[in-house]
Amino acid sequence: MQLPHEVEILKQRVADLTSLIDVSAIISTTLELDELINLVMQKAMTVMRAEASSIMLLNENSNRLECRFALGSVKEKVRNKIELKVGQGIAGWVAETGEPLIVRDVSKDHRFYQAVDRETGFITRSILAAPLKTTSGIIGVAEVINRLDGKPFDNHNLEIFSTFCRQVALAIENAKAHQYILEQQRLKQQLDSAHIIQQSFMPQTFPQSKESGFQVYGKNIPATSVGGDLFDCLEQNANHLGLIIGDVSGKGIPAAIFMARLVSDLRYYSQLKKDATETLMAINTLLMERSRRGMFVTLQYLALDTDSGKLSIVNGGHMPPLWIHNGTFKSEWLRCDSGIPLGILPDLSLSKHEIQLQAGDCVVMFTDGIIEARNSKGEFFSLDRLQHFLENEWASPEDLVKALIGQALSFSQGRPQHDDITVLALKWH
């Protein structure tokens, strides 16, 4: 007489096993988190023969369970609207203890959180809850509510549902990892695009006189995809050339945005104002007017008379340029009054220093990224090493710039670049 009943139980176990296999197949078909949870919990409701189901994920910042997904008659009233503290309600208890739980009659369990039923009009009779555990800990709780036949959930239901939840937790972990990878890929693509755009703000070709009276070359290597260093060549008129180098405070995207706007401003004011001092004064006023988060820039402006080789230097808090004399190949720092960086004080005082270039002389401008390059011993490349290396004969400013950057990177012995590197060089023939 027991055989038909045992056959039915066996059939049910086979169906349950088939459902678990189906869940494994579902998990392997998608890595989209919401779609994945929806498919798995629909299957769970079918197997558990339940009226409703939900998944609450743990927000690590607030230490609260947030209802991320719900199925059933009141799903729209609870999805993304219900939150529980860890330890609050049945789900909170499961999250706190890490143990699955059957509540056969919620009216007899003090842990049951009645507010949800009051707010939604749903009547909860029985609950089956299990934690979502991964290698990193508990990430949430899944629940099925009310068997359709009116009976309470039993231990077999709990065993099957706990197995479901182990698979769900693994699937959520995999989906989140996949989403993280996609986000990183998108971020990399955006940064690559930002790098291309930022580099377009700096000269792609360099001015030189038709009579080979001078040559200019510059190069920028940001420490990350984008940075705050800048340089530019401003051809103001037939016989005046402006060379700009600067270093915006900070790094990354904020510095890059600041830098891009600054380059545009410099190009505008260099045409509007009479000389380098007036240009930098105007830029300082502009930066003070729109100052945000204390950002500032060290800026150096060299103005070359391309007919005579007369060079004027105005320095706003930047390191002095190096003047390399032809013939002797000795060098000197053009230590004019450097003042303070632009964007800090409204009443800025800037002075101008003038020199006369001789045939074969070179003037080199750079940012601190190159002298702060470090080797495995923690030693800096330093101003002294830079000066010693540059006291040589250089056929062109391009040779000089590439050799100097190569020397600094070689000195670093493959260590990560600490700061943006920018070098701009002028040779007078």
Lowest mean pLDDT among 125-139, 207-221, 297-311, 360-374: 207-221
- The reply to whether 138 and 275 lie within a common domain is no
What's residue 106's pLDDT? 95
What's residue 1's pLDDT? 46
- The reply to whether 332 and 399 lie within a common domain is yes
Write the CB contacts of 25 (distance below 8 Å, at least 6 apart in sequence). Answer: none
Quickly list H helices, 201-299. Answer: 252-272, 276-289
Last residue of a domain, one of 139, 158, 175: 175
Quickly list H helices, 309-381. Answer: 368-371
- The reply to whether 231 and 161 lie within a common domain is no
Mean pLDDT of 151-157: 88
Cβ(141)–Cβ(69) below 8 Å? no
pLDDT digits (tens, 9 = 90+) for 249-282: 887 788 888 888 899 999 999 988 878 999 999 9
Q: Kindly indicate the confidence band of residue 19, based on its pLDDT and cuts at 50, 70 and 90.
A: low
Predicted TM-score (pTM) of the model is 0.66
Last residue of a domain, one of 175, 190, 217: 175
Lowest mean pLDDT among 239-243, 288-292, 400-404: 288-292
> For residues 9 and 101, which has the higher predicted lDDT (pLDDT)?
101
- The reply to whether 117 and 244 lie within a common domain is no
- The reply to whether 134 and 222 lie within a common domain is no
pLDDT digits (tens, 9 = 90+) for 317-353: 999 999 999 989 999 999 777 679 999 998 888 989 9
Mean pLDDT of 105-128: 93
Q: How many domains does the chain have?
A: 2
Domain presence at residue 23: yes
- The reply to whether 244 and 384 lie within a common domain is yes
Domain that holds residue 43: 3-175
CATH at residue 158? 3.30.450.40
- The reply to whether 228 and 305 lie within a common domain is yes
- The reply to whether 374 and 230 lie within a common domain is yes
Q: Kindly indicate the confidence band of residue 36, based on its pLDDT and cuts at 50, 70 and 90.
A: confident
- The reply to whether 19 and 158 lie within a common domain is yes
What one-character-per-residue DSSP string does 141-199 give?
EEEEEEETTSPPP-HHHHHHHHHHHHHHHHHHHHHHHHHHHHHHHHHHHHHHHHHHHHH
CATH at residue 382? 3.60.40.10
Write the CB contacts of 409 (distance below 8 Å, at least 6 apart in sequence). Answer: 373, 417
